[in-house]
A and B are shown apart, each in its own frame.
Chain A
Amino acid sequence: MTINGKTYIAGAFEHPTRHAPDKSVAQLHAEVALGALADAGLARDDVDGYFCAGDAPGPGPASMAEYLNLAKLRHVDATELGGASYVALAGHAAAAIALGQCDVALITLAGRPRSEGMATGTTPRLRDPNQPEAGFEFPYGLTTANGYAMCAMRHMHQYGTTSEQLAWIKVAASHHAQHNPNAMLPEIVTVADVVASPLIADPLHRLDCCVISDGGGALVIVRPEIAKSLRRPLVKIIGAGETVKHLAGGTFDLTTSGAARSGSAAFAEAGVEPADIKYASIYDSFTITVLIQIEDLGFCAKGAGGRFVSDGNLISGIGKLPFNTDGGGLCNNHPANRGGMTKVIEAVRQLRGEAHPAVQVKNCDLALAQGTGMQLGTRHCSATLILERE
């Protein structure tokens, strides 16, 4: 049993807001849900599968299903994989549709950490005192920023990666963001700008970090017969993979991520190779996140990521691997501190030929979306999705 070719992404919508003090989280979820349904040319009553993650208000899918008044649900899934959730949920929706559990799957994400004044990356957070590792991590001031920073520090030590090489990832994202009218940081930056920005957690600078934004996004995934009855370009799901990578009892390597496993599963299911991919959305909570995932997905050898991302190799129209052409989390949007949804949405835009003309990849028929959720420096979830334009 495979999901390859069993479903299509018919609707994709990214909320244009980046700051929503005047809207509730539920309201944002509803706005993106309706946006994606309108994009697909479908109605709320067509939805029989609803998928969400930990950002949806209340436990599980119940509150949002009620708020949206979804009346015909016969399949729900509230798998929580942090920022990778929405990449994984697209795969789950494909599997559910392939099994006949639903025909029209709606996936939503929304949140407002910017309005709520969350110091997302630099404050230690105790999420659940029952987490068995909590007593051995929380006292030490582990934050999002210094956890990822330790991955970067180790990668530099092991492979000679430099701050300048990491900076190229931000530079490429900024070249794309200049064309996005909704981007939080639309200014082009240089390698010198990135390395001159203040250190947050050595060796990561402020400009190595993603933005904090309000907003959200949604996807609608459907059976082939439905997709072909709609007036949208056909974007087919051909491969999906997911995994968890953790500290393995204290025997770990911080320079690799779960993308190695989720990526190889997705490539195997899709029957394609990294070299076939025309466009890649790569989760970019920090520059180092991109570098490690690019290596683990097989776009270059482990340790060669620093050289691979340099000199504009990720810039559309210039480099070999155009990435995050919306500006990504580094420059555009990281709604609810969860970047997986916008990764899938920009891949859909590219495959439809609906990216900004300045960043649209020519003949873009094969794209990848990669998500990493939670903490690369401890335990994280990884999900990979491979999409094809038919």
Chain B
Amino acid sequence: MTARQIPAPIVTVESEPFWNAARQGRFVVPTCAACGKTHWYPRAVCPFCGAKNIEWRAASGRATIYSFSVMRRVKEPYAIAYVTLAEGPTMLTNMVDCDFDALHIGQAVRVAFGETENGPPVPLFRPV
């Protein structure tokens, strides 16, 4: 079975620092310097307190599966998932390097960057 090709993410002026870090293999998460909370997806204005001083902090890469679904009705089945980061927020991703039938909610997972078609790598997750 060949793996599904991941399209390149759209990089905006707002998200560029995230993707630059990803190119260096670093998983960073946007954290508000004012209220201390980490949010997802990344934005320049804190969705919790409205402050504009968002810092990109190195994340642990540890997470647990919040929910997932294996897309069956395609040539190359893939697993979409929401994972809750150790830093707080829950983010959308794909589960890779795993037995799809063994995936379960609450499972411990860790970040693993995956290549995209002519774009920066995107954060994927694999079981610990």
Least Cβ–Cβ distance between B124 and chain A, in angstroms: 8
A residues near B40, Cβ cutoff 8 Å: 136, 247, 249-250
- Beta-carbon contacts under 8 Å, A121-157 to B: 122, 126, 129, 132-143, 145-147, 149-151, 153-154, 157
Tell me the number of A-to-B contacts counted with CB atoms below 8 Å.
123
Q: Contacts A198-B73, A201-B70, A202-B69: A139 and B7 contacting too (C-beta < 8 A)? A: yes
Chain B residue at minimal CB-CB distance from A152: B69
- Beta-carbon contacts under 8 Å, B70-105 to A: 70-74, 78, 80-82, 85, 88-94, 105
Chain A residue at minimal CB-CB distance from B48: A249
Q: Contacts A122-B73, A151-B67, A201-B70: A146 and B90 contacting too (C-beta < 8 A)? A: no
Number of residues of chain B lying within 8 A (CB) of chain A: 46
User: Complex formed: what's the CA distance from A190 to B48 in Å?
Assistant: 47
Query: Counting CB contacts under 8 A, is B10 at the interface?
Result: yes
Q: Contacts A146-B80, A249-B47: A132 and B69 contacting too (C-beta < 8 A)? A: no
Q: Contacts A141-B80, A146-B71: A136 and B92 contacting too (C-beta < 8 A)? A: yes
Number of residues of chain A lying within 8 A (CB) of chain B: 39
Q: A-contacting residues of B (Cβ < 8 Å)?
A: 4, 6-12, 14-15, 19, 37-43, 47-48, 66-74, 78, 80-82, 85, 88-94, 105-106, 116, 119, 122
- A-B contacts besides A135-B10, A157-B106, 10 pairs, CB < 8 Å: A126-B10, A137-B92, A139-B122, A146-B69, A153-B105, A157-B105, A201-B69, A204-B69, A250-B40, A250-B41
15 contacts between A and B (CB under 8 A): A132-B12, A136-B9, A138-B10, A139-B116, A140-B6, A142-B92, A147-B80, A150-B67, A198-B73, A201-B71, A202-B70, A249-B47, A250-B39, A250-B85, A250-B90
